[in-house]
Structures are given as C-alpha cells and as structure tokens.
Structure 1
Amino acid sequence: MKNKVTNSDVFQLMEKWAPKQLAYDWDNVGLQIGSYHNPVTKVLISLDVMENVVDEAIEKGANLIIAHHPFLFKALKQVNIETPQGRVIQKLLENHISVYATHTNLDIAVGGVNDMLADALGIEKNDIIVETDREKLYKIVVYVPETHIDEVRESLGSSGAGHIGNYSHCTFQTKGQGTFKPLEGSQPFIGTENELEFVDEVKIETIIPKSILHQVISSLITAHPYEEVAYDVFPLANEGKRYGIGRIGTLKNKMDLNSFCEHVKKVLDVPALRVTGDLNKKVKKVAVLGGSGEKYIHHAKQKGADVYITGDMTFHVAQDAWQMGLAVIDAGHYIEKIMKQFTAAHLKEHLDKENIDILVSESNTDPFQFV
C-alpha cells in the first residue's frame, strides 16, 4: 500500500478476493461513480446504495461506499435530480463519495456471500451448486543466473505462483548454461559489449492461474537481475480452480424442517420466512443461494438437497419444487446483508496498518416489512 490509500488500492484488495471476471456477463461490477484515484479515509459497507445509505455516508464522513448490489445496473438515459436515482447521484458527486459494486463475483468467489451463508448456517463439506467458471492455468519458465535463484524463486512464490492444492512455492529447477552477446548500448548485468558470454543458469518452472499472471510477471522482472529477462509462458490443459454459484453441504445433525426454519431465522436475523414441504421432514443436506435463486431448484434437487434456501421464490416455481419433493425456504433477498460484516472484516484485516475507518452501514434497505 502507498502512504496515501486511493480507491484503486481498495478496489484491488476487493478484486483479489472477488475477481471481476467471475461476475455474470449481464452484471455491472466495479467502479460505479467516482474516481480510481480519489484518496480514501473512510469506507462504508452496504448491501445497497439508496438515499438513506448515502445520507449515512455523508453524516459519517465516508468517501467510499462498497455495495453488493450495483447502484447503476441499467443504462442511464438521463440524470434527473428530481428522481430518487438522480438525487442520489447528485449527493454522491457533491460530497465526493465514490461507489463500488461487488455483486455476482462476490456471490461466486471463495469466501464470498454464499460461503458466508453456508458457514453461518453450519453447512459442512460444501460444494458449489452450479459451476460457472474454471480458472485457466499457465506455466511460466524463467532462466536465472545461479547467484539469484533464491530471490527470483521467492518473488514467484510470494506473488502467488506455484500454488498446488495446499502447497505453495512449488517449482521445478534444471541447471544449464545460457549464452548471450551484449550489443552496443546495452547495460549488461554480466558480460562485456560485443563479446559472447556463457553463464551458469537455472531454469525455474512453475504454475500460475490466469487471474494473477501479469502481477507475477511484473514481480519476476523486478526481482530478476538481467536487463532483459528471458521467460516463456505456456497455456496448460490442466483444470484450474472451480467457481460457481450457490453452496450445498450437510448439517452436522439431522433436524426436522420446522426446527431448521427456526435455526435459519435466528442465524440470518429473519423475522419470518416462507417454506414449502412437510415441516416434520428430516433434513440433512442443505443448499443455499443468496439473492434470487429460483431458477436453480432443479440443480439443487439433482445435487441431492433436502432443502434449498434462497430468495424471491415465485408461486409456480415453488409448486414445482414442492411436487419434486424439494423443500424450499424463501428467506428473502435481504439475507445477503451478511456480506456487510464479512466484507468489513476482510478490509480491516488487509488495511490494518492504514489510517482508514471501515464502517458497516446501519441503514435498512429491505423494502419489505411483516405485519
């Protein structure tokens, strides 16, 4: 981190956790309003960006709002400050508050919204419900003089290369001899202009996921002693990390559906919920998908779920689930508010040495109330 933290620095932290390329193509994630270069002193974490949230940010002096739901989702055709959206845009710009959205990428990311929900509910041995992406892998090969093996190898490992399963800094090394002739105008680390040089070198090979390829190469070039670094990058057929929407796993102990509903209400702070199925039915395998998840009922059933927790379930889809023997708990879209505390904790952990306040929004953005 630089001495003065900017929006860009915070965005990079978020995107290391929830890369933007994980988001669905219809989604709008990343910077919504503001600038990448504005300095950050106080961040407000919110599920949504509504006028009460912006008023809270103004009152608390926050100059960056990180939200789960994108504020700008459909294309703007006008900014009329007499409309709710226009007033919000005006307040954000007048008070120099930037807005950043991390939506379906945070749903899909490891440790993201669906993992937060599964962990909170005590769902163990998690798997994804629907695979959306597999990370592409590359092999990088670099030639290093024997005097600098440790420095270059460490730069590769510390920047994220060489991770295989639960192991880091995985490389393979082969000794050999490199040749080169420094031409006129060069500034060789080893050798003399216009004379062929022979150097004992080591070939270091390691594996890199596509998402960090450029930062690993940058770190490699910084650590390497040569003026011109010789390296190769090869695409691999190996399958990388799986990413997907929703989570499914098992409860430690079976319980009847009615008791599980009470558990869901307590853990997710839901005053009421809708449920289909036999309330006396024993449930063990549980699927969860934050937000609107009705189109994934068949996937949850195929994965063997006894009960599926999501939001925005419509009448006929609920009937379909009921008829196929899948219990459904519609706990509402607002259960995604769980992301506020976890996102704040994530940023605090990575910005603990910076003079930045990370706040959790106290504004209610749930449009529904129970009477």
Structure 2
Amino acid sequence: MKPLLEINNLHVSFNTYNGEVQAVRGVNLHLNKGEALAIVGESGSGKSVTAQSLVRLIPSPPGLIKQGEVLFDGRDLTQVSEKEMFKIRGSEIGMIFQDPMTSLNPTMTVGKQIMEGLMWHQGYGKAQALQKAVDMLRLVGIPNPEKRVHQYPHQYSGGMRQRAMIAIALACNPKILIADEPTTALDVTIQAQILELMKELQEKMETAIILITHDLGVVAEMAQRVAVMYGGKVVETGTVEDIFYRPRHPYTWGLIQSMPRLDQKREEDLIPIPGSPPDLLDPPKGCPFADRCPHAMQICHEEMPEWTNVSDVHRVTCWLEHPDAPPVEREEPRVNIVSR
C-alpha cells in the first residue's frame, strides 16, 4: 500500500545573525492512512520544525526548506503554489498547535473560528456552518455547545480550549491531523480525556495522525509507530513495541531509562542523559549523539552511520550495529506499555 504521506531527505534551515541553524537535516519518514505516527525527542531535536514544514508554516525568512520533498497524494507540497497550499491546510491536513490560548484568535468567537474553515474550504453557508460548528463542539465533548459556540476563547478552560482546537482541526475532515504537543500544560485528568478523544475521532474518521511529543507516556497511549529524532535527524524508527522493548540506538535507551516508573521509590532512580544537544549552527559531521554517548567510538565523531534494518519495520542508524563494532550490553528496558 502506498503511503498517504512521504517525507524524503527534508532539510530545513533558519538564517540568523549568528549563522545558519540547520534545524532539520535529511529527514525521511512516511505515514499510512489511518495510522498514528509519533515523533519523539528532546526540545530542539527538530520535531516541530519538521511538522510545520509539512504544511509550509515555517516563517520565510528566516526559515527555508533547502532540500527534499513532501509527497501528499502524489503532490510535492514543497513545490505547490501558496494558493494551492492554502486549500490543503485545514481541508486535507489539519493541525493542533502547542498552546491553544495563543493559537486561538481572542477577538473571534470559537464558533466563528470553526466556521471559517468550513466556509472557505467546503463552501458552507453561514447557517449551515454554524450548525456544523455546534456539531463539532458536541463531538469533541464541549457541554452545552449551542451556547459555547458563541463564546470567546477566554471563556473556555484550558481543556476546553484544547478540545476547541481539535474541533477546528477536524471540522473539514482532513486526511492527516498533525498534533504538536496536544496535552502540554494540561493536568493529567484532562490529558487522558484529550488522548481518549483523539483515539475515538481517529477511529471514527479514519484520520492519520502525526503526534509530536517528548512525553513517552502519550506515545504509548496513542501511536502505532515511532520515529526518534535527535540533532535534526531521525536516528531510529519502529513500532511502539520495538522502541519501548527493543531499542537499538543509545539515545533511545537514554529516553526510555529516563522515564519515571510506577515501581520507582526515589527521585534518584531517574537516569538522565548527561550533556547537552549539539549546536546546529555547527552540527557534527558524525552521529549527532556521539558527544553524549557512553559507547561512542572514533568513527562516531567522524562519519554518520548508514541505516541498519533490524526488522521489516525497525530501523536504526548507529555504528554499534556494524559487524566490526565491539559488543555492548544493553540494559533491559523497565517499562510497561499497553499495545494498541
């Protein structure tokens, strides 16, 4: 089956006073219809820049898609006109941004913000769009939607604003939903409700989801496949079970080991990853994780490793996979996830 979305050799940079920040460096990913793909990694790893590049929301200048292609239904989104891209955003690809308070327009009612996309992209009349907006608020669990549709964002709680963002993103029934940290700044009860809502809507509407997050608990709850990013590159991809139970890249091991666990009794049991992410003004020639990796060899600093296929769906780029590499004892991950 041909993927719904293919990202091939994507490079994105930002020109600053200090020089060129190479935020995304040769990312290759794909997304199948109805699938949930999580992109994980530390802040600054390139997750959000990759997601925003898919719908050309990188401000230019200073941002620039320097190389690569984003194939969606046979079209390269890096090459289509801005007019055509405007039609695709919202109608075929929806996006939930990190902070709903700053993403929602404070001067417009929530209903009007849902209606806007319906009238632009679907040709709805005002009365029809208003009824659809009420239906969408009801679908995402907003109580008394007939009243709430006429209220402003500041009259909504944090969880309700996030639900309203989901309603806006899904109003035109897009084929792909990009969710950038959809549970940031929400308490754990509301987080669980938002994740459950997204799963239900994905099943009902068969929407493919790209989930951008640093929260591995959210990944275990939502995703089928995971891409691990570091230093602007994808360093490992696989199923949720592969990444949580059979991680091959030392950075992925570090992420798993730094997760809090239910059986953890002391804060000291958390194992942080020492060091800092690489400076993307002057990115390393070799593996971006080499300076922080306890198993790094000389070649790790000098040359980026090729991809190794661990299985049909599990791939990693690490010199430890080379047949001449010294054996490394991998600690068994101590996690517990529920497979979807």
TM-score class normalised by the smaller sequence = under 0.3
Task: Give the TM-score normalised by the residue count of structure 1.
Answer: 0.21
Task: Give the TM-score normalised by the residue count of structure 2.
Answer: 0.22
Q: Structure 1 or 2: larger strand share?
A: 1
Rg (Cα) greater in structure: 1
